[in-house]
């Protein structure tokens, strides 16, 4: 475990384009360690309702939710904190959020496609690969913790603008198209 902490501390000294690779290698190392551990030592956990055997799926969920989320890069590693704050301040009033203006003010529309995908992963809080309506409510708060929540009207407007396949959620390609539009 100490090796993971050592690697994690030194990642912050690495240039941005190599950080994703470093995070991925830590993720895979820990995933493999936990997976091998659970395969070699089956562990039963008794709860109030039933006995539950830890499986590969549980290991994967543990790694994704507990560890990988804590290593997620922050938005300020992609966008400037000042630009984010200015963009959030511009839409403080309810029903004043305009995604095109917001993406321009925070600088996201000037970033590379990979950086836009990284921002998408940060906004996709449950790591489902989609930004659902519930996550859109807290869209501004993902950029700036003290920001307001989006109104229902703003959520519907954002969904309508981005959801090309009408499945009620925004995929990474749809998000990228919306940012660069």
> pLDDT per position in the chain (181 positions), as tens?
445 545 555 555 554 445 555 565 666 566 656 655 555 444 444 444 444 444 555 555 544 444 444 334 688 899 999 999 999 999 999 999 999 999 999 999 999 999 999 999 999 989 999 999 999 999 999 999 889 999 999 999 999 999 999 899 999 999 999 999 8
Query: Beta 51-53 vs 130-132: how paired, if at all?
Result: unpaired
Beta strand segments in 33-173, E: 44-46, 51-53, 130-132, 169-171
* Last residue of one domain, picked from the residues 71, 100, 119: 71
pTM assigned to the model: 0.60
Q: Are residue 25 and residue 96 in the same domain, yes or no?
A: no
Residue 48 is assigned to a ligand binding site:
no
Residue 126 is assigned to a ligand binding site:
yes
Q: Are residue 91 and residue 175 in the same domain, yes or no?
A: yes
Residue 143 is assigned to a ligand binding site:
no
Cβ partners under 8 Å of residue 44, min gap 6: 51, 52, 53, 54
Burial 99-123 (b: 16+ CB within 10 A, else e): beebbbbbbbbebeeebbbbbbebb
Residue 82 is assigned to a ligand binding site:
no
Query: Beta 51-53 vs 44-46: how paired, if at all?
Result: antiparallel
* Last residue of one domain, picked from the residues 18, 38, 71: 71
Residue 128 is assigned to a ligand binding site:
yes
Residue 152 is assigned to a ligand binding site:
no
Domain span holding position 116: 76-180
Beta strand segments in 9-149, E: 44-46, 51-53, 130-132
Q: What does the pLDDT read at residue 74?
A: 81
How far is 42 from 123, CA to CA, in rounded Å? Answer: 35
* Last residue of one domain, picked from the residues 71, 95, 115: 71
Q: Are residue 55 and residue 144 in the same domain, yes or no?
A: no
Residue 139 is assigned to a ligand binding site:
no
Q: 9, exposed or middle or buried, with CB in 10 Å at 0-12, 13-18, 19+?
A: exposed
């Amino acid at each position: 475990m100490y090796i993971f902490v050592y690697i994690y501390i030194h990642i912050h000294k690495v240039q941005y384009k190599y950080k994703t690779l470093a995070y991925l290698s830590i993720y895979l190392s820990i995933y493999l360690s936990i997976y091998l551990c659970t395969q070699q030592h089956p562990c039963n956990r008794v709860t109030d309702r039933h006995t539950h055997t830890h499986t590969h799926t549980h290991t994967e969920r543990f790694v994704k939710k507990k560890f990988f989320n804590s290593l997620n890069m922050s938005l300020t590693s992609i966008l400037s904190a000042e630009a984010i704050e200015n963009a959030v301040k511009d839409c403080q009033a309810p029903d004043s959020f305009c995604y095109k203006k917001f993406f321009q003010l925070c600088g996201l529309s000037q970033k590379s496609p990979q950086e836009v995908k990284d921002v998408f992963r940060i906004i996709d809080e449950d790591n489902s690969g989609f930004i659902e309506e519930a996550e859109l409510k807290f869209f501004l708060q993902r950029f700036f913790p003290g920001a307001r929540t989006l109104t229902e009207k703003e959520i519907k407007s954002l969904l309508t603008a981005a959801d090309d396949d009408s499945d009620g959620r925004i995929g990474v390609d749809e998000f990228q198209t919306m940012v660069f539009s």
